Chains A and B, each alone.
Chain A
Amino acid sequence: MKISEIASILNGTILCCEEISGEEVFSACGSDMMSDVLAYVKNQAVLLTGLVNPQVIRTAEMMDMKCVVFVRNKAPSDEILAIARQSGIAVIKTAYRMYEACGMLYAGGLTGKAGE
C-alpha cells in the first residue's frame, strides 16, 4: 500500500514528507507505548499512535519506519514535524481512533506481517 493510500483510506492529512507518499509499505503496527514498539516490532514500516511527542518520531527512525499516523486528531507540534522532516518520515493525521484506523488499514490490505 502506498503512503498516499493510507492517508486516503483514513481520510487523513499528510503533514510532512509528502514527497515520499508514493512509496510502498507492506506492514504496520499500532501502539502508544514506544517501549513495546522497540521491543516487539519487526520490520513494520508504519506506526499508528495516539502518543504525540518527539520520541514517537525518534522511535520510528530507530525502527527504520517510513510513516507515522497520529490518530484521534492528535496534532503534532512544528518541532515534531521538523524532526520528522529531518528523518524523512511521512506524518499523517487522522480523526479516526486507533482501533478503527488499524482496522481500516488492515481491511485495505496493510497487515501486521512484513513480507509474509
Chain B
Amino acid sequence: MPAGLQAKRVNELDCECLSYRFEVDGSNFTTAGEASVQVKRILRRIGFPPETIKRASIAMYEGEINMVIHAGGGIAELFIYEDKIVVVLTDHGPGIADVALAMKEGYSTAPDNIRALGFGAGMGLPNMKRYTDIMDIQTALGKGTVITMTVNV
C-alpha cells in the first residue's frame, strides 16, 4: 500500500460511522459490480436521497470495475456518516503511472477484450470525479492504488 494511506483509513474508522467492507474478486469479471449493487441497496435502506445514492453508487461501481480490470481486485470499504458517504477502494495492482493522463476523458489502458465487455472507454476515473464531491488518489507504481471518494449528503 502506498505510504501515508493507512493513517487516513484509521482516522476514518475512528469516527462514528457505519462501515462495510467488501472483497472485490479480481479473477472473475462476472461478479464485477456486485459490491456496488449491495452498497446501493444499503444506502437505499438507510433512506438517503435518490440522487445522492446514485452518485455514490455510480462512482463506486466505476471504481470497482476498474479494480477488476486493472488491479486484480481489491477491497472496497463504505463509511456512512450523517452528512457524507465515503467509499475507499484499495488495491495492490500496478498503480497508475500518470494520474493526470488517466483522468483525461477517453484515455484508457484497458485491453480490447475489456472493451468487448462494454468497458474501457476511458470514462471511469473522470466519471468518479464528476459524481463525487471529493476524490483523492494515492498511487505507487508496482504497489497499488487507494482511491477515497466522498459524496456529501
From B8-16, B17-25, B53-61, B91-99, give the one contacting chain A: B53-61
**A61–B53 CA distance with the chains assembled, in angstroms:** 11
Tell whether B73 is near chain A: CB-to-CB under 8 Å: no
Docked pose: A26 CA to B100 CA in angstroms? 38
* Interface residues of A, count at CB 8 A: 21
Q: From DSSP, what is the main secondary structure of chain A's interface residues?
A: helix
Of the four ranges (under 10, 10 to 19, 20 to 34, 35 or more), the interface on chain B belongs to 20 to 34
B105 to chain A: which residues have CB within 8 Å?
A: 39
B residues within 8 A CB of A53? 29-30, 117-118
- Determine whether the beta carbon of B54 is less than 8 Å from that of A55: no
B79 at the interface (CB under 8 A from A): no
Contact with A along B24-37 (1 / 0, CB 8 A): 00000111111011
Assembled-state Cα–Cα distance A19/B54 (Å): 24
C-alpha gap A58/B118 in the complex (Å): 12
Residues of chain B within 8 A (CB-CB) of A62 are: 33, 36-37, 40, 54, 57-58, 61
Instruction: Mark B residues whose CB is within 8 Å of A.
Output: 29-34, 36-37, 40, 50, 54, 57-58, 61-62, 65, 105, 115, 117-124, 126-127
Show 5 A/B contacts (Cβ-Cβ < 8 Å), sorted by A. A35-B121, A38-B62, A39-B121, A59-B61, A87-B37
